[in-house]
Structure 1
Amino acid sequence: MPETAARRLRIAAARADFLRFGPADTPAAPGVIAGDVAGVVAASWQRSFSAGVNAATAQAVFHSDLDLTGRLVRCSKPVIARLSDDMAQMPLSIVLTDARARILSRSETNKTIGTLLDQVSLAPGFNYAEGAVGTNGIGTVIESGQSLYIVGPEHFTEHLQPFACAGSPIHDPLTGRVEGVLDISCLSQDSSPLMRSLVRSAAHEIERNLLVDRSQRQQALFEAYVRMDARSRGAVMAIGGTMVMGNAVAQSLFEPAEQWAIHEHGRYLAMGRGAPVDQIELLSGKVVHIRGTRVGVGDNVAGIVMIVDIVSEAAAAPARAAAPVTSIDAAVEDPAVDGVDRSLLGKRTATAIVDALRQRKTLLVMGESGSGKLSLIVDLYHRVVPAGRSRVWAAEDVTANTLTFPAADAGLHAESGPMLYVFTNIDHLTAEAAEGLDRFLVALAASRWPVTVAATVTGPTLDPGLPFAELLARFDASVTVAPLRHRLDDLPQIATRVLATLTGPRGVTIGAAAMRVLCRYTWPRNIRQLEEALESALVKRPVGEIQSEDLPGYCHSGARRLLSPMEAGERDLIVNALHEADGNRVLTAQALGIARSSLYRKLKSFGITAA
């Protein structure tokens, strides 16, 4: 014990000289033995000094926007409870922080230590980042990435000198990212170096809980990814929900923008019906071949694991002009498709529809409700056949006797010019209507009338038990329109086109901030919901430039669950109050008559990311 006290005195002397002379001119303190000041502590002093931390007056800053109900808190609770029971006879405190060194919880075994820690703001909500309060067992753990034991004079600031703390980082077991820090703090005279081993063991237990807490889907996807990575020497990627994984080969072969494009195409393949194998050209010019394996849990698809091979690198312009034209090349170069969509999925879909229309194939277009199937077919048809006409038949308007020659269209005959017939939602046809449409398609195929036929089906799968299933034999080609959430690159163009349709010659535009809000939302009801959002914004701002505050409240929400009508109304009130307060959350809470902590919880729950 005397030796420990003497060592701490020498460290205190070294710290005093550091604060007096600065990092460059600090003389060797008399009696200081090499190794008394650990390298990680000396480096932390340097960082604290460079950050401008005042050793005498620095104070932790309070934050109220904390995630107090997330996975980290949930997985840590049983570990902290067990640790508190095991250490009940020692006066100490157990602290959990997030990855930004903000304290999420504190549990103490002794009321006195709790009171002392309150005096130095080591309490929920306060930020113990190294750049704010200097060397400590939380912020320095995050900066160094390792478990540490910081005692007395090793702390940079004066008010932490009486304490000792041992902290260990908590890593996400899948991504390796630091999720937070577990810290044990007590008075220096009650401390022991064993605290470091104790807190490190507890942190590992929390990491195991984090892994177990992953949903069955995530766990299944992770295990499939590990198996695939072990068998392959190439680039392996896995995508499912919020999980995105890629091995070192994938990271080295593809730039971030290329990885993102492959991820989005993987999500598209995961929701498809056929084999998840495809070849696409990235915007960088690389052509890649994707071999995917869907990962299922029960009847649900957890995600997809993909092996990605580079077929060819970006070619020079002359060689590219002479090369065979792939479907993606055609999407880029075909004037009928130019300007329709920017995303790979959008271009591929448009190219496939144009090819079918040019060859007068009977076309089946599938996709979610509101994804823009009808407008895409009609728009591309008039690009391919400028002089053509189009007519749309809704499923409810089709009966057994509606579609007969010549009653189907009194103006339809050989001299009337090319015509497009689109039958929407044929999966909703009654048995009698499906029979009538079948007779019409057979008669049309036998005629020489210049008619092109297309039909739409709503939903990701085709139910063979529905009446329309017998019609499938009459179609030559099929295309799936990806939902808007899988082609957000196209959203600025789509939003601009929708707005132009709604406003005509008024010249209303969408401001940059509003467009960012639109691009962050996932649009579960696709383009139809986008139309509704812009219609709502036009009520508030019928002319000029639409601003973010003009958009409905749900556009500002990234909530991953369906909100009840009451919750949706509450969300809209909060969004409006935030706009009126210019984003000031303190004033927003006051205007709503709720505590700031309640406001932050609601912002998190409703997924409100911008105001």
Structure 2
Amino acid sequence: MPQSQSRLLRTAAARADFLEYGRQGAAGVPDVLAASWERSQQAGVDIDRPVTDFSADLDIGSRLVRCAEPVLDQLGSDTADLPLVIALTDNQARLIQRRDSSSAVGRLLDRVAFSPGFNYAEGKMGTNGVGTVLEAGQAVSVVGPEHFTEQLQAFACTGAPIIDPLTGRLEGILDISALAETWSPLMHTLVKSAAKDIGRNLLLDRNQAQQALFETYLRADTRSTRQAVFAFADSVSMANGAAQAVFDPVEQLAVREYATFLMARSDRVSETMTLHSGRVIRIRGTRIVSGSDTAGIVVIAEVVTDQACDPKIPVPGVGFADHVLPQVAVAGAETRVLVSDLRRPHVPIASGSSPGWMRACSELRDALATKAPTIVLGETGTGKFTLVAELFHADHPGGRSVSVDASQLRSGAESDLDALLNSAREQTLCIVRNIDQASTEGVERIDELFTTLGATTAPVAFAATVSDSSLDSDLPFHALLGHFEVAVTIPPLRCRTEDLTLIVNRVLGEIAPGRRVRLSPQALQTITQYTWPRNVSQLREALTHALRSRPVGEIQNQDLPSYCQTRSRKNLTRIEAAERDAIIAALRETGGNRVAAAEHLGMARSSLYRKLRSYGITA
């Protein structure tokens, strides 16, 4: 029996078990899929006859449609001979356009209301390649029995979010649908690539005023790689890596407000200002005007005197800032070099006491200390990249980190990197992010980069991050594994129960700086019991959602997103929490094999199944 058919049969069996027994019946099913089944069930989706709604007021001439059309034209041309259908939806999962490469598949999809105007949100139609992408915030393929409803199981659909690169907002979803037996993993790559192309078109489609602001910001950032550069407009705020490193969110807001006040009276300013920390900074700003429109302002800020602390004197609790490091040698607004700054205190991401996390930090410190080429594995959102950068800069306060996003590496990038790395005098670490997302061409460029770095006499080391779920794939990045000497795996959030309070407080401090906000004991318990398939990044989204309902004060259970409520509500003692974590660890070590996990734990299988249900474990 072909492996793909065997996998589908296992999924069908797991779905049947899920419908009968709940979450524990979905053993072995990916977390994204199991969570979607749960959401669909809780939304009351009928597995036999789901009911959707129709909207006649779609904006078929929207900016999204305008930017998507050339990509859809090319995609349709490239797949003209394939039995599939291409669909574009808005950010509410309503179909705007559908293009049929196969009229036969199109007629079948008509029967399940997969047509312009109809809503394919997960709460309407269950697990599918549109609504589940919207809920998960990532590209998703749903094949055959992976659908929640019976009537969609004849199909396979792969969807990817369309993100506006400037605002970071999800504008719509691109989907390719086919019959289940004709689905290919290549559709996943095809959809993700096309969705990124639409995102680039959204960036280019900005009006003249916004484009003028963006281009001025890029020029200032290119000239001032070691200086903090900001761009502010009514609905846009941009800051380069140096700005994020030097100024915390409260200080960034202060810069914005003061610069906006000054620029209301002058086209150009050069002023000093004192921040709440006592630091004195100089800001140089330019008002950007296009025709009669004021696009915004571009500001360069530099510290004149630093009264907060002397960076030469070690300060307890001061570490590398937990921010997103920029990309280097890639197309886009984030092209820059980051030089770390240790001035502002924060709770470092490396803080934690769970055994798996402490072990990962120790292994990573040792690898970086010996400059061994290191590959860092882990689920999406576990903090792989941030942890590498933080530990490197903790050992090399005067060092430099250079970040390259593998999925966006473009032609000509090598020369940019060569110039950056060959000029390195201080200790430098080159971090290649998400090498599993690199194209075949990108892998060739990264291979040349690693070969060069391995042979250089400059003080340069390199590391890379990869999603551990990609290790079983046939993706091109496998050709790069020979460059590495050490592999370190970062544990997922669900295996760091002891650290959750610390992590929650750090995330709340980031997204609500200066506010008096905390979690109620019940809300913290709910967070503790949820599995967090997208880890810290999803936790940040959940807390942001909660703050919209309760911006200050004590966040209650009902303020959290509904998906957080899918776990067991039982309050666990410390012993029970330790037992639960031990079970999760055993399941991970045995690849989800419950028989082997029970043996490993010295526990009867019946006892293990009872505890899986009691603790709400789905690993």
TM range (shorter): 0.3 to 0.5
Rg: which structure is higher?
Answer: 1
Q: TM-score, normalised by structure 1?
A: 0.44
